Structures are given as C-alpha cells and as structure tokens.
Chains A and B, each alone.
Chain A
Amino acid sequence: MTAYVPAEMKRSRSAGADRTFTLFTAGAAWLVLVLLGATALSMAWGGRLAFQTFGLDFIISPEWDAVQGKFGALVPIYGTLATSAIALVIAFPVSIGIALFLTEIAPRWSRGPIGIAVELLAAIPSIIYGMWGLFVFAPFMGANVEPWLTEHVGDWPILGPLFNGPPIGIGMLTAGIVLGIMIIPFIAAVARDVFAEVPAPLKEAAVALGSTRWEVLTKVTLPYTRSAIIGAIFLGLGRALGETMAVTFVLGNAHDLSVSLLMPSNSIAAAIANEFTEADSELYRSSLIALAFLLFVVTLIVLSFAKLLLVRLKRIHGRTL
C-alpha cells in the first residue's frame, strides 16, 4: 500500500494505528476486486465440464435437450441479444427525447418532479415488471399489437418474417419492450446530465447563428456529448443483457430457434433462473453455469466500455455509475 501519509505523522506514536486503519480499509477495497475475480473464476470452473464436452458447439448449436444430455446454447444466446437489441431500439430515442425535454423544453418548475418520476422507473423491482408483463402487458400485446403487426408488417420483404407469428403475447418482442422500458431511466439520466453540462456559450453561439433547437441538439449538443451518450447506451445494454426476472416472466422459456420475434424464446438469465434448481445432472448444471460465465464476461466488457466512456462525467450524488 502506498497510501499518502504526511512525513511528520510517520514519526508520531499513532503511526501504527494509522497504518492498521489504512490497511483495514485497503483490505475492504481489495475484497471488491477479489469478489469480482472469484465470481468469474468460479463460473469458469463450474462451467468447465460443459466447455470441455461441447467445445464450440456449446455456443453455436441450438439443441438444448436435457434428456439426451445435449446442451447447445444458441437459443438463449440469440434470445438475450435479440431482446437487448429491441430494448435499445426503443430506449435510445425515447431517452434522448426525455433528456431534450428535461433540459430544453419543460418549464423549470416541472423538471425536478418529472426527472424523479423517470428515475423511479429504475427503482421498481424487476419482479414487478415481470408480473405486470405477464398478467397485463403480454395479454395486451397478444390481443392488440401483435395481430396488427402480423397483418400490416408481416409480409414486408426483409422485416416481415420478424413480425409474422402467433399472437400469443409472450415472446421476444414483448420481453424486448419490457427491457426497453426498464433501461430508459438509466440512459435518460446520463443523457440529461451531460446535456445540462454542455457549455451555454456553445449553444448560445448556435442560436445566435439562427439554429433551431433541433439543430442545436444535432449539431452542438450531441457531438459535444457523443462519448457519454455512447457510454449511456452501453450501460443500458449491460443492464438489458443481465436482466433476469422481468424477462423470465414474459419470454416463455422455449428452446426453439425462431426468426419471428412474436415466438417464445429464452435468454441466458431466464434459462438459469428457470432451470438451475431442476438441473438433475452434473453436465446440465455445468452447462447453466457456463452460460452464466459467458453472460458475466460479456456484461463486464460492455459495462467497462460504458464506464470508460462515462469517466469524464461528473459524479452526481446518489446515482450509481
């Protein structure tokens, strides 16, 4: 430990107590690193049987058959990526819109309450999203949105097959939308804070040249805050990839690979949540832990990117990351 200790204090009698205190706090700091490393290692160790048995097939095979002891995780991997992509497509424009509204348009008195209300979306436990998704939102999607999509978008050339399917409500599209709602507050909060930090003279100069507010946003604010906005997207992506409960409720726990976003599917986190306590063989358990390892490593990389891009962002008290 090379903590800074003033020279004159080293001579004092309490130097020993000081060193002990510093070492104690440094030990706690180390613990954070140890726990992170231990989690990754223990997942790699627990999943080694699956990796050894299936090799690359574990990632590229869609065959997940507990009875025959064959575990290929393409379906949950695809489901995780597809739902997260849907979530970002929804959350990104909405979050930018909310940030623009809160920094430029809303009356000053209303900015605080509206900002808090949006942040509360992040406070709602994910299991509540899941219950609402299962009992309210999925039936709504199945009865209203999905039949419309199949009828009007289902025969489009490239996008069509994505939206052609049985209107059962539960599936990747519904899960992706729920995820999108869940990550809006994270992206919106970062975007709002960085928008507010754009130096006023820059914006005033653009306005003086006759820019509209839309032009100020696209030609001054967004270029100025680009790295933080990309960081916010990665943060949202990291959140969406690892979200478990909400997705478990509305994804349907199916192990079939389907193009249609209206079909039930699976995600890495949902597969673990649904199947781990029922996994009756060593290989089954190991396969689920191997999935957890992949998820953990990918989210750590994504979140590290987010953190690197957000590093310039001033920390705001009480908000995390």
Chain B
Amino acid sequence: MTGSRVLQRKVVDAVALVFAGAATLFGLFWLFWILWTTLQNGIGALNPALFTQMTPPPGSEGGLLNAFYGSAMMILLAVAIGAPVGLAAGTYLAEHGRYTRLGAVVSFLNDVLLSAPSIVIGLFVYEMVVASMGHFSGYAGALALAMILLPVIVRTSDEALRIVPDQMREAAFALGIPRWKVTSQILFKAALSAIVTGVLLGIARIAGETAPLLFTALSNQFWTSSLNEPLANLPVVIFQYAMSPYDEWHELAWAGAFMLTLFVLGLNIAVRLIVRRRKRS
C-alpha cells in the first residue's frame, strides 16, 4: 500500500465525517428555522381576544375561541372512541392473541395503517358518515380523528403490555386468578403509565391533523356547541386563513399555528421526559 493511497483513504474518511456532521446540522437547521418562523409570527399575533372572540369575517379582527373549542371537543371524542378500542386490540395482540395468525396479521397491517395517508381516511368518513347524514359535522370529524388515533393506541398499548415481565403473569396465574382478571386488573395497572404515554402521543398526532377534517368537520365561522353541525377547528381554520389574501386572517393563522405547535411539541417533549424518568426508576 502506497502512502498516497493511505492519504486518499484518510481524506475520504474526513470528508465523510464532515458530511455526517453537516447532515445533522442540516436537519437541525430546518427545525430551528420552522420553529423560529412560527415563534416570530405567532408571538406578535397573540392577544387576549384570541381566547375570547370568534373567528372573524374577512377583513376584520377576532379570535379563535370557536376553533379551540371545536378542536378540543373532537379530540376528546376521538380519544373516547379510539382509546378503548385501541387498548382492546392492543391487549389482543400482546396477551390473548400473541401467537395467533390474526394477531400477526393485525400487527402487520396496523403498522401499515399508522403511516397511511390521512386524507384518504377523511374521504372514507365522508363517504360513510357525511354522505349518509347529508351534512358535515363535528361527529364525523371526531370519527376521522379516532380512526387515525386507533393504530397509534394499538401499537403503543401492545408494546406497553409486552414490557410487563412474564413473572407477573405467572404469579397471577399461580394464584388461580382468571385470565381476564389478570389482564384487566394486574397487567393494565402495571402498564398504566406506558398506556397513558401512548394516548398522549396519539393526541399529539391527531391535534395537528388537517386533511381528514376538510371533508368531515369542515369548519364554521360561528360558535356552535353542537357536534352535529359543521364545527370550527384549529387546523382547518389555520389552513383557510393562511390561504386567504387578508392580512388579519394571516395574523390569526400564525397565532393558531403558534398555539398548535406549542401544544404538539410540548406534549411530545413531556412524553419523552416521562418515559426517561420511568426508565431511570
């Protein structure tokens, strides 16, 4: 091996390492650019009216109260529907159907569903619910969100139960406790914090979902507490206002974007802190 060959390899290596560092900086650069943009435009647009006034007509000022309310209601309803069903399916995958063919198939397709395009799910709920009811509604929006939440909960609750040590199951069975009681009263308790973490991650995921709400909840300029009508919600309002030509609407869109980012990233970071603390203890 000649000296120049060694030098060449060293140079290639150094270039590669510099590239790896640059790639990481490249990734972080976008994160900070996007967060900075949101912060810069969002902070300036924040004011108390945001939380006390309704979405305004074009060219005038207002708030986002109805959008916050609508989003909160739909997320709560989606969790109320998606979390129990997802937990049950996750329980099947981890406990009752761990070695069954159904378990394997569901586990596989559930992961596929996790990354499936959410706009198609919105269209599905449109076809099933909106078309048959004849109008857009908060219920339809909540169902679409629940469908996106479902695979997240299935996966996280499956994993939460699988990390419960088998000794706990064996000890419970040895005491003669029936299987359903072992699962529902012992394993769920042992896995509780991990299951809750999964639900929080799921909420973070659906809070920003816009595409599935476009044809289900639509939006509503006015206040309504009824989920049976088109319902204002933060993502769709941000979308409509950002795409509009009005400055007042752009301001509101940025304020909404800031609140949404704060909520979603805050939840993500909180979940990671919880997980890390649990691992330590």
Residues of A within 8 A of B (CB): 1-6, 9, 12, 14, 17-18, 20-22, 24-33, 35-36, 38-39, 42-43, 46, 93-98, 100-102, 104-106, 114, 116-118, 120-121, 123-132, 134-136, 181, 184-185, 188, 212-215, 217, 235, 238-239, 241-245, 249, 269, 272-273, 276-277, 288-289, 292, 295-296, 299-300, 303-304, 306-307, 315, 317-318, 320-321
Residues of chain B from 49 to 101 with CB closer than 8 A to chain A in the complex: 85-86, 88-89, 91-93, 95-100
Separation of A282 and B179 alpha carbons in the complex (Å): 52
Task: State whether A43 touches B208 (Cβ < 8 A).
Answer: no
Residues of chain B from 89 to 118 with CB closer than 8 A to chain A in the complex: 89, 91-93, 95-100, 102-103, 105-106, 108-118
Separation of A119 and B131 alpha carbons in the complex (Å): 38
Residue in chain B with minimal CB distance to A133: B34
Contacts of A38 in B (CB 8 A): 124, 128
Task: State whether A131 touches B238 (Cβ < 8 A).
Answer: yes
- Interface check B44, CB cutoff 8 A: no
Most buried by A among B23, B85, B128: B23
Residue in chain B with minimal CB distance to A318: B275
One of B38, B242, B269 near A249 (C-beta < 8 A)? B242
Residue in chain A with minimal CB distance to B117: A242
Name 15 interchain pairs, CB-CB below 8 A, sorted by A. A21-B183, A30-B102, A39-B124, A97-B23, A98-B27, A118-B28, A121-B30, A127-B239, A132-B34, A188-B27, A215-B13, A242-B118, A249-B242, A277-B218, A320-B115
Task: State whether A296 touches B120 (Cβ < 8 A).
Answer: yes
Task: State whether A299 touches B117 (Cβ < 8 A).
Answer: yes
Task: State whether A303 touches B112 (Cβ < 8 A).
Answer: yes
Task: State whether A17 touches B180 (Cβ < 8 A).
Answer: yes
Task: State whether B106 touches A33 (Cβ < 8 A).
Answer: yes
Residues of chain B from 106 to 163 with CB closer than 8 A to chain A in the complex: 106, 108-121, 123-124, 126-128, 147, 150-152, 154-156, 159-160, 163
Task: State whether A300 touches B112 (Cβ < 8 A).
Answer: yes
User: By DSSP majority rule, is chain A's interface helix, strand, loop, or mixed?
Assistant: helix
Task: State whether A43 touches B264 (Cβ < 8 A).
Answer: no
Do A32 and B109 contact each other (CB < 8 Å), given the known contacts A245-B211, A277-B218? yes
Separation of A95 and B98 alpha carbons in the complex (Å): 34
- Interface check B171, CB cutoff 8 A: no
One of A32, A120, A127 near B257 (C-beta < 8 A)? A127
Distance from A76 Cβ to chain B, minimum over Cβ atoms (Å): 12
Task: State whether A130 touches B20 (Cβ < 8 A).
Answer: no
Task: State whether A303 touches B115 (Cβ < 8 A).
Answer: yes
**Beyond the given A124-B35, A292-B119, could you list 8 further A-B residue pairs with CB under 8 A, ordered by the A residue number?**
A2-B100, A38-B124, A97-B19, A98-B23, A127-B210, A289-B123, A307-B108, A320-B114
